[in-house]
Structure 1
Amino acid sequence: MRIYLPATLAMLHQVEADKELGPAPLTAFAVTPALREWYLDDDEEVLEYAAFTQAARAALRLLDADPLAPRRRVVLSADVPDREVTLHPDLDRAVVRSTAVIPLDRLASVHVDGAEAEPDVAAAVKVIMAADLGDEDAQFTVDGTDDHELEWYAVQELPALLEAFPAR
């Protein structure tokens, strides 16, 4: 199953050092039966994009918890065995948990905001909790991050990518 894991650049440094993403359980997003049932479009790519977008939104919450992390959303795409994934529709329709540590070789790609997204991401991070609590103005600010497509990187490019963002 392809899952999408929210992260930060600081977390990516740890993934590169450990050669794995953990510890388990890891909260992620995926095309689940609940997402298929809710979404009007049954195109697999559209459904994957919906799950990916939820992971990008969750990355804002991780950035809120880490005030020193660069203000760029990160999403890791990973392929994991179905038996290592549990569905959590009680949390949200696309939420899953990986019950095992994810080795680096299971990552399919890394997605990171470009520099032009930083001001919008920084503004969204400041109000993400208010948006979660129903503040419409805050939600408008958070939705502004959807205008920025995350850049795609091959897993082999991870060391070069991280050189641009030194560990603290």
Structure 2
Amino acid sequence: MQVKSGGGIEDKGVRFVVRVANRDDFSRDILKSETCSMSIPELDLEVGGAALGGRFTTAEGLVRASLEQIGCAPELSGDAPAPAKERMAEFMGKLQEVLDNKRSITIILDDPAGNSYVQNLNDDPEQYDDGLQVSRYERSFEQNEELGLNDMKTEGYEAS
């Protein structure tokens, strides 16, 4: 389900490291904002926030959406040389192996706006979830620039 953020920008960015090793891990709910990038280091996959957009889904849904988006992108096939097409087919096969629960991955979600969320699979949200690491961080100047925060005047703007 596509979603658009209606809130502001949090004081800090947030980074989630999600281990996907079994079927239960696939069911983890994820709210990915449009400013949140995604990477899967085991597959050398990096996806910017705009590519998958904002969505409420699961870990499986993110992998499936990545596979569908790559498979539907005409610029990734077309007149590409045969070796490039073979590498792309091999890469899509690896994504399918993840969906078939034959390959474990780590999904890293990095949202400088801090508007994304990943579900803790424990009944008690205060209890440690060994498949999820969450860290909050101070945004860099470049991240603030991308979010339009560097030139925003938030104090004394009423004065002329």
TM-score range, shorter chain: under 0.3
**Normalized against structure 1, the TM-score is what?**
0.23
Higher helix share goes to which structure? 1
**Normalized against structure 2, the TM-score is what?**
0.23
